[in-house]
Amino acid sequence: MKTKLLKELGIGLLVGVLLVAIGAFVFKQPYTFQGSLIDPPAPASDFTLQANGGTTFQLSEQHGKIVLLFFGYTRCPDVCPTTLYDFKQIKAQLGEQADEIRFVFITVDPERDTIELLGKFVTAFDSDFIALSGELDELQLVYEAYGVYRQKNDVGSAAGYLMDHTARVYVIDPNGNLHLTFPFGMAPEAMAEDITHLLKE
């Protein structure tokens, strides 16, 4: 009886050690980003543009913060408001950590998007969101630096043309490096998880 008890204790101990070892292995696995990882991260091209609220925004001054960049326009019927709503959800999920994030919207339609209009558009989703614009030549340098596609699409509407444009979110880490991009349609929960991990690095 004693031998059987010792044998059972030994098996139990072995199982316990194996579970601890498996748990340690699982927790030591590197995090797998759900967005598109840029490996190694590349230095993000700096720029300075006019911001809503009568200020200017310089990317290099955001060192220590994560910057989420999205390129869109105020008359966008679908992608842009959806992305800003995703930003709002991400901010809510991050809680106090959201103070470490800059949510930035850069126009691809400077011909119609005044900085006042942009400001009203983004702050309708959240008062902390930042809208940026500038002269076309200034913006063109930013578009080229980030590989942003933009093209007028005259659909013959009385409301005017639409803009075909890149719909990805660019994630710049606290070191000023382009670290990830998020495709349109990615779940806000998944984006928030990736951002939370970047904040821990």
**Per-residue model confidence as pLDDT tens digits over 155-166:** 777 768 999 999
Interhelix angle 188-200/79-94, nearest 10 degrees: 50
21, pLDDT greater than 50: no
| pTM reported for the whole predicted model | 0.84
pLDDT, averaged across the chain: 89
Q: State which CATH number among 3.30.70.260, 3.30.565.10, 3.40.30.10, 3.10.129.10 fits the domain covering 36-200.
A: 3.40.30.10
Q: What is the pLDDT of residue 9?
A: 52
Residue 1 is predicted with a pLDDT of 52
Average pLDDT on 41-54 reads 96
pLDDT value of position 157: 73
With contact defined as beta carbons under 8 Å apart, do 121 and 103 qualify? no
Is 171:33 a contact under the CB 8 Å cutoff? no
* 57-64: average pLDDT: 96
Please report which confidence band the pLDDT of residue 201 belongs to, taking 50, 70 and 90 as the band edges. confident
Confidence (pLDDT) at 158 = 72
- Whether 169 and 192 have beta carbons less than 8 Å apart is answered as no
Of 187, 182, 137, residue with least CA distance to 37? 182
More confident residue, 1 or 64: 64
Q: What is the mean pLDDT of residues 73-86?
A: 96
pLDDT greater than 50 at residue 24: no
| Per-residue pLDDT at 64 exceeds 50 | yes
β-sheet bridge partners, residue 50: 56, 133
**Residue 183 preceded by cis peptide, ω within 30:** no
> What is the pLDDT, as a whole number, of residue 11?
56
Q: Are 131 and 118 in contact (CB under 8 A)?
A: yes
**Residue that wins the pLDDT comparison between 22 and 41:** 41
Query: Does the bond joining 40 to the residue before it have cis omega, within 30 degrees of 0?
Result: yes
Taking the C-alpha atoms of residue 81 and residue 70, their distance in angstroms, rounded to an integer, is 11
For residue 125, pLDDT beyond 60: yes
The domains of the chain are located at 1-30, 36-200
- C-alpha to C-alpha distances, 107 to 73, 147, 150, 165, nearest whole angstrom: 5, 14, 10, 10
Mean pLDDT of 6-11: 52
Section 61-77 average pLDDT: 96
First-to-final CA distance of the chain:
54
> Which residue in the block uniquely carries the two structure tokens 């050690």?
17
Give yes or no for residue 13 having a pLDDT over 60: no
Residue 7 has what pLDDT? 55
